[in-house]
């Protein structure tokens, strides 16, 4: 994520012949068996002053922590160079900041459809997943500031981080279960019980946290060879890190099964559509596109990209640490784009429509904006029907095909009396309210 608060250590020497004699380092007991050896990574000399026959040297210890430490079960990250660790830290900072902003917007949006979340439980699951990830990212950004201040506070932060990330995974599993109910189970009553998913999303994560604290609370907080706290997370020394990795792997395996089922359903539905075409090459291309879109949409929601971090075991596999950091710090951003911005419900939301009309009014108020608006109006009125057709092949429509009933999907679980009519023409309509009305009519 980011570096913890640096520690400055000052040494005073009475007899010095040359500045080249100095080099800041520390004794790493994990090197060369039990004896240990000198190490110099993360430590640098910041100043050297001489006066009255003595020399004062100040060394700074700066430990770098990236998002990849969450699944670092061994010493894989310790093999990376300081430059690469700094780069991972920067990427982690940027990714977490973007995801926090996107998750905040997603939470605000779901609050505008609060009542519908209890009728359509998939929205309820999206909302809680966004909350869990937002809190986990936010605490992760701030956690390392507490690492060197107080051991008790660090244990609390590490345990809370473990709970929030495990809760996020439980909600990802709820996403997989809901996906299965929508595509396979006919008229499932379970898909309407929001309280069941509320318990499944927040309660099971307490078990490994409570057990870990009861048996190995001293391992909550990663320490260096000198016994100083580096950051607030689960230690790898006594295997307590597996109190997070094991549940994570179990949920990833379960969601992988749900993903395969979803892809098979998409393949079956698209094959029936594609077989109507005459070109065999075109049929295969359409099937590939459908599978690719479904995979791109579902991977962030199901959390399958977290497995990348487990393969970053040494310098030769460091690119897995990069994949893990990039994909998972941006997980909140992907969820916001694929499951909020590209959804029908978002563009049909009354607040979004008001905002569109406000933008249209602002455009018309200026000369330049009036010209732009007139161009948009003419082109969108002329091409509205073709836009709807093109949108049906986007990632947003691909998600709709997984979560909404259609003739291509053989079974659904929604009550036919409460099915909401799709209005894709409305969502792609021009900014002008009159033009929008013409499209819908």
Percentage above 90 pLDDT, the chain: 29
Map out the domains of the chain as residue ranges. Answer: 7-61, 67-341, 350-440
Regarding predicted confidence, which is higher, 12 or 211?
211
> In the numeric block, which tokens belong to residue 205?
């994560």
pLDDT value of position 252:
95
pLDDT band at 174 (very low <50, low <70, confident <90, very high): very high
Sequence-distant (≥ 6) Cβ neighbours of residue 157 within 8 angstroms: 139, 143, 146, 147, 232
Q: Are 318 and 80 in contact (CB under 8 A)?
A: yes
Other beta carbons within 10 angstroms of residue 98's beta carbon come to 16
* CATH fold for domain 67-341: Rhopdopsin 7-helix transmembrane proteins (1.20.1070)
pLDDT value of position 79:
66
Cα–Cα distance for residue pair 219/235, rounded to 1 Å: 5
> Model-level pTM?
0.71
Angle CA(62)–CA(311)–CA(324) in degrees, nearest 5? Answer: 65
Tens of pLDDT, residues 364-380: 665 555 565 565 455 44
| Residue appearing with tokens 């590209």 | 342
pLDDT band at 431 (very low <50, low <70, confident <90, very high): very low
Percentage above 70 pLDDT, the chain: 60
pLDDT value of position 14:
61
Which residue, 332, 137, 163, 325, is CA-closest to 244? 163
pLDDT band at 278 (very low <50, low <70, confident <90, very high): low
3-state helix, strand, coil in the chain (%, to 5): 65, 10, 25
Which residue, 325, 246, 245, is CA-closest to 80? 325
Cα–Cα distance for residue pair 361/355, rounded to 1 Å: 10
Sheet strands (E) in 78-146:
none
Q: Are 40 and 25 in contact (CB under 8 A)?
A: yes
DSSP string, 252-281: HHHHHHHHHHHHHHHHHHHHHHHTTSS-HH
Regarding predicted confidence, which is higher, 151 or 436?
151
Average pLDDT, the chain: 74
pLDDT value of position 364:
62
Is residue 401 predicted with pLDDT exceeding 60?
A: no
Q: What is the mean pLDDT of residues 191-220?
A: 93
Most confident of 175-179, 183-187, 318-322, 345-349: 175-179
pLDDT value of position 115:
85
Q: What is the mean pLDDT of residues 39-55?
A: 68
pLDDT value of position 109:
93
């Amino acid at each position: 994520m980011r570096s913890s608060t640096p520690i400055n250590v000052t040494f005073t020497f009475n007899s010095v012949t040359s500045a080249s004699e100095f080099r800041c380092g520390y004794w790493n007991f994990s090197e060369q068996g039990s004896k240990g050896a000198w190490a110099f990574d993360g430590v640098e000399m910041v100043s050297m002053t001489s006066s009255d026959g003595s020399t004062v040297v100040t060394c700074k210890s700066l430990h770098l922590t990236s998002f990849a430490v969450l699944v670092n079960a061994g010493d894989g990250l310790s093999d990376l160079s300081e430059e690469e660790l700094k780069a991972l830290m920067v990427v982690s900072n940027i990714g977490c900041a973007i995801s926090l902003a996107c998750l905040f917007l997603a939470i605000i949006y779901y609050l505008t459809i609060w009542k519908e979340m209890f009728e359509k439980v998939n929205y309820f699951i999206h909302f809680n997943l966004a909350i869990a990830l937002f809190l986990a990212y936010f605490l992760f950004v701030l956690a390392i500031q507490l690492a060197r201040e107080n051991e008790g506070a660090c244990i609390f932060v590490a345990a809370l981080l473990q709970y929030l990330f495990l809760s996020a995974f439980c909600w990802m599993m709820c996403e997989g279960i809901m996906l299965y109910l929508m595509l396979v189970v006919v008229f499932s009553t379970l898909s309407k019980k929001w309280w069941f998913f509320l318990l499944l999303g927040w309660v099971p994560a307490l078990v490994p946290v409570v057990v870990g604290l009861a048996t190995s609370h001293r391992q909550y907080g990663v320490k260096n060879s000198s016994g100083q706290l580096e950051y607030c997370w689960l230690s790898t020394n006594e295997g307590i890190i597996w109190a997070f990795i094991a549940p994570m792997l179990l949920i990833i395996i379960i969601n992988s099964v749900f993903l395969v089922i979803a892809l098979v359903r998409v393949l079956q539905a698209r094959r029936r559509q594609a077989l109507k075409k005459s070109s065999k090459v075109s049929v295969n291309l359409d099937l590939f596109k459908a599978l690719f879109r479904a995979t791109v949409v579902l991977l962030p929601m199901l959390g399958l990209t977290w497995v990348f971090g487990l393969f970053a075991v040494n310098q030769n596999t460091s690119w897995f640490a990069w994949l893990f950091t990039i994909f998972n710090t941006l997980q909140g951003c992907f969820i916001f784009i694929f499951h909020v911005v590209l959804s029908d419900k978002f563009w049909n939301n009354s607040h979004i429509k008001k905002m569109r009309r406000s933008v249209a009014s602002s455009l018309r108020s200026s000369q330049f904006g009036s010209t732009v608006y007139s161009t948009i109006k003419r082109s969108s009125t002329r091409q509205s029907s073709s836009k709807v057709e093109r949108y049906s092949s986007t990632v947003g429509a691909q998600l709709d095909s997984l979560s909404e009933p259609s003739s291509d999907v053989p079974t659904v679980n929604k009550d036919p009396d409460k099915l909401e009519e799709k209005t894709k023409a409305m969502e792609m309509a021009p900014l002008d309210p009159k033009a929008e009305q013409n499209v819908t009519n």
